Structure 1
Amino acid sequence: MRRLAATAAAIAVLLTAACGSSDDSSGAGSGGVDRVKVGAIPIVDVAPLHLGNAKGFFREQDIEIEVVNTTGGSIAVTGVVSRQFDFAFGNVVSLITARSQGIPVKAITVGNASTGKPGADFGGVVVPPDSPITDAAGLAGKNIAINNLNNITDTTTRASVRKAGGDPSNIRWTELPFPEMPAAVMAKRVDAAMLVEPFFTIAQNQGARVVAYNFAEAIPDMTVAAYFSTEQTITQRADLTGRFRAAMEKSLKYAQEHPDEARQVLQTYTQIDPAVAAKITLPAWPAEINRASVQTLADLMHGDGLLKEKVDVAELLP
């Protein structure tokens, strides 16, 4: 929790500096095209962002995007508040955490969602092939790798362990970037890892076994992430935000309806092998945020002690 407090304090300083500025420049370039930076993890979840860019959906809205790689939601929040990014992709638990700390981030549109199908989802918890762990309950007391502490990966893993009859209170968490997790699991540097695609399939191809589909098991049809910015950006640059939302919503719809193209675009921003890309499970890219699922996540966070008080997520959501 000390690390989380330090992060919050740093963001508070950035937020104060940002709010002291009245600059509402849209970053417009020649021809009236707005150049914007979007923070996003280079994982399957953000395929619609890259696909929509390739299809020209952002250009249709007079927007030119530059995607800047991040490692997780807390980094995305910091980048948006410091104006390193105009918009970003982040898991909803990180956004709830930021909002509870007085950081006025706000979702613009859905990012992605679980398929809701245990056994056929785009993420889960894996263990080495010879691990004695056989189900989610067996993860109690183990060392589990996640990409960022206090985000959707550990929150939903706790929920999955709890539903299986285990006690998640003594799980030890190790922060690792997703690309490093398969090797860490196979070398037994950690007992397990919570992975998303394409690294979920990569780990299984190396022999790792799935013991929990935590996204699908935690909450039905769960919204995993959203594209977001600060309230200040959304208000001061309302026209740009509206055009970004329109382009992003068209991109999400297109990716959902054209899964083969969503797989192909992975070659442009990840190093995933084409053979792996053909096998991975894609997330759902729905039209809207499942508001009830976000509230349930906030309630789980409160129960786990990540939030001091219960949170109404209405102010966070569009």
Structure 2
Amino acid sequence: MMRSPRSAPRRFSTVLGSLLVATLLLATSACGLLGGGTEESSGSRPKVAATLMTILDSAPLRWAIEQGYFRAAGIDVTPVPAESGQVGIVKLQAGDADVAYAGDVAIISAVATGGLDLRVIAQAAMAGPETMWIMVRDDGSVPTVADLAGKRIAHNGVNGVSHMLTRAVMATHKVDDSTVQWTRANFPDMAGLLARKEIDAALLPEPYIMPATKQKLKPLIDPIKGGGFEQSIPTGSYVVTAAWAQQHPAEIAAFQRALRRAAAEVTSKPEIAQRLAVREMKVDAGDAQLMKLPIFPLTPSAVQLQRWADLMHSFGVIKQPVRMSDLVIAPPPDQ
């Protein structure tokens, strides 16, 4: 700690000490906003509430909170549980969260059909090959993609990522999805519903694939390759309202900086995501080691997100095209 220098005249000493204390406080605050230090008290940092789902997309966010990366960047992030991306967006609009995780499809739908003015500040994850599967029972009830017609299929939200990916697979294989009996369910519950024959198929992401195989369920098709997406497709992003973005540019930059740091670490050290899956998502430790992790982007890409907007427009889910470059807030150049 710096101490005020002493001098004979008490008045001069007092004034000089006050100036030094004020300067130190300003410097410490500036260091927090610039990500250069963590010594400021929690009361001096802006508080940001961010929704959180129990899926692997959230691994970098969980890691950034746990390791204090947000505090180091100058903000206090509080997690707000949400069952789905749609619920996250509802919490955002209600003022219960400042930042919401949602599937990219749900975000685009909210903007195009819900009239919400949202901004994407970070991509959470992208799905690569074998990071998701459409699962069915191992009883021959759905032997091929063609047999999905007329079946009961679960998704995590109407026009959400799981819903749209399943539709894309069926469209690629020329299967009519208008006869499907769609059912909304949370990802942790889907394997049980499938095993109990309450549904016939469900798209499951990690970390729910390996546990599902222990319930006599099996993969039917990889929706990334089977849906015509080649190597990857964005799955989820973090959004804020346009009004909040205008008022809180420093908080957004801090969030982006900390999340990027965490994403880089989780990518280079898969064991981090594995430990989080065991602890937070109750995944068996052995299963966690076999998981194929999603891709954790370091910066948001309007080009990648545009693929969803174009697909949704072609499916008629949204009536007007959406230009994602208008919605994405890029990190500052120094990031």
Give TM class, smaller chain: 0.7 to 0.9
Shift, 1:29, TM fit: 7.2
| From 65, 79, 102, the counterpart of 2:115 | 102
Other-structure match for 2:239: 228
Q: How does 1:1-318 map to 2 (within 5 A)?
A: 30-100=42-112, 101-115=114-128, 117=129, 121-218=130-227, 219-220=229-230, 221-318=232-329
Shift, 1:266, TM fit: 2.4
Distance 1:267 1:62 in 2: 29
Instruction: Describe the SS at the equivalent of 1:38.
Output: strand
Shift, 1:193, TM fit: 0.9
Q: Is the 8 A contact 1:39 1:85 kept in 2?
A: yes
1:214-252 deviation line (CA, Å, top 9, x unaligned): 134332321111111111111101111110111111111
Shift in CA distance, 93/56, structure 1 to aligned 2, threshold 3 Å: same
> Where does the alignment leave 5 or more consecutive residues of structure 1 unmatched?
1-27
Instruction: Describe the SS at the equivalent of 1:278.
Output: helix
Shift in CA distance, 71/215, structure 1 to aligned 2, threshold 3 Å: farther
Distance 1:38 1:209 in 2: 34
Distance 1:234 1:135 in 2: 46
Shift, 1:72, TM fit: 1.3
State the TM-score, normalized to the length of structure 1: 0.85
Distance 1:132 1:142 in 2: 10
Q: Is the 8 A contact 1:223 1:290 kept in 2?
A: no
Shift in CA distance, 159/30, structure 1 to aligned 2, threshold 3 Å: closer
Instruction: Describe the SS at the equivalent of 1:124.
Output: strand
Shift, 1:71, TM fit: 1.5
Superposition RMSD on alpha carbons, in Å? 2.0
Instruction: Describe the SS at the equivalent of 1:108.
Output: strand
Distance 1:98 1:211 in 2: 30
Q: Which moved more, 1:200-209 or 1:265-274?
A: 265-274
Instruction: Describe the SS at the equivalent of 2:199.
Output: coil
Shift in CA distance, 242/276, structure 1 to aligned 2, threshold 3 Å: same
Shift in CA distance, 262/304, structure 1 to aligned 2, threshold 3 Å: same
Which residue identity does 1:242 align to in structure 2?
A
1:233-288 deviation line (CA, Å, top 9, x unaligned): 11101111110111111111111111111211223422222222222221111223
> Where does the alignment leave 5 or more consecutive residues of structure 2 unmatched?
1-39, 330-335
Q: Kindly, what percent of the aligned residue pairs are identical?
A: 25
Which residue identity does 2:96 align to in structure 1?
Q
Q: Is the 8 A contact 1:137 1:162 kept in 2?
A: no
Other-structure match for 1:7: none
Instruction: Describe the SS at the equivalent of 2:219.
Output: strand
1:31-72 deviation line (CA, Å, top 9, x unaligned): 412222110211111111111222221121122222122111
1:163-217 deviation line (CA, Å, top 9, x unaligned): 1232223222101111111111011100101111111221122221111221343
Distance 2:204 2:146 in 1: 18
Q: Is the 8 A contact 1:124 1:194 kept in 2?
A: yes
Shift in CA distance, 137/196, structure 1 to aligned 2, threshold 3 Å: same
Which residue identity does 2:58 align to in structure 1?
V
